[in-house]
Amino acid sequence: MSNLEVRSASRYERRRMETRGRILAAAGEVFGQQGVKATTVLDICEQADVAQQTFFNHFPSKGDLLLEMGRMGGEFLIASVDSALGKEASTKTRLEEIFTGLFAASIEVGPMHHEFVAEVFHGARSRPIGESGPRLREAFVRLVRSGQVQGDVTRRHSAVEITRVLAGSLSALSAEWANEPDFPIKRRARALARVLGDLIAPGENA
């Protein structure tokens, strides 16, 4: 392939990714304002200023777009875990930062964030979301092992088993919030993180 062909292919891929990003951003805005079920592909296309065929070139359906948004949410959570690990703090404080930061970002979606989170949550549970699932578990394992090294997480159980407890608790909290419009998610996320921090702390015989 010539240098001209390489540059042309690079420009095409850059434009393609820019268009994809514009569609995803537009979907987030429209979903947050009017809800997922009430939003059509045409609504998203108008917000993104793209043709419907362009949308379908990137996403076969609205459901596939939701799955991609769920995957992106997983990537955001992985980055949040890594960010917390980069700070000198207790595991309990790190958990609080991760949990509250995740839901604060979700709330920013818009007034219809509950339906949006419910739809993404359902899609993430019912179909694979790519590589972010295993990588997310690995991120939490790193968090737990770091806590074991610094002495504020018990060694009586493996990091993998403790990670299952953390991930299950986060999943349950997400489901509860998605189904209860008046659920005080910020307060409950902070409270749950503190409870989990206490539960995984070393006991007297640790």
Full pLDDT tens readout for the chain, 206 residues: 555 454 565 877 888 899 999 999 999 889 888 888 899 999 999 999 999 999 999 999 998 998 888 888 888 889 999 999 999 999 999 999 999 988 887 777 666 666 776 666 555 554 444 456 788 889 999 999 999 999 999 999 999 999 999 988 988 888 788 777 788 888 999 999 999 999 999 976 54
Same domain, 54 and 154: no
What is the domain extent for residue 173?
Answer: 61-206
**What predicted TM-score, i.e. pTM, was given to this entire model?**
0.78
Provide CB contacts within 8 A for 102, sequence distance 6+: 76, 77, 80, 170, 189
Structural domain count, the chain: 2
Same domain? For 14 and 68 the reply is no
Tell me: do 19 and 118 sit in the same domain: no
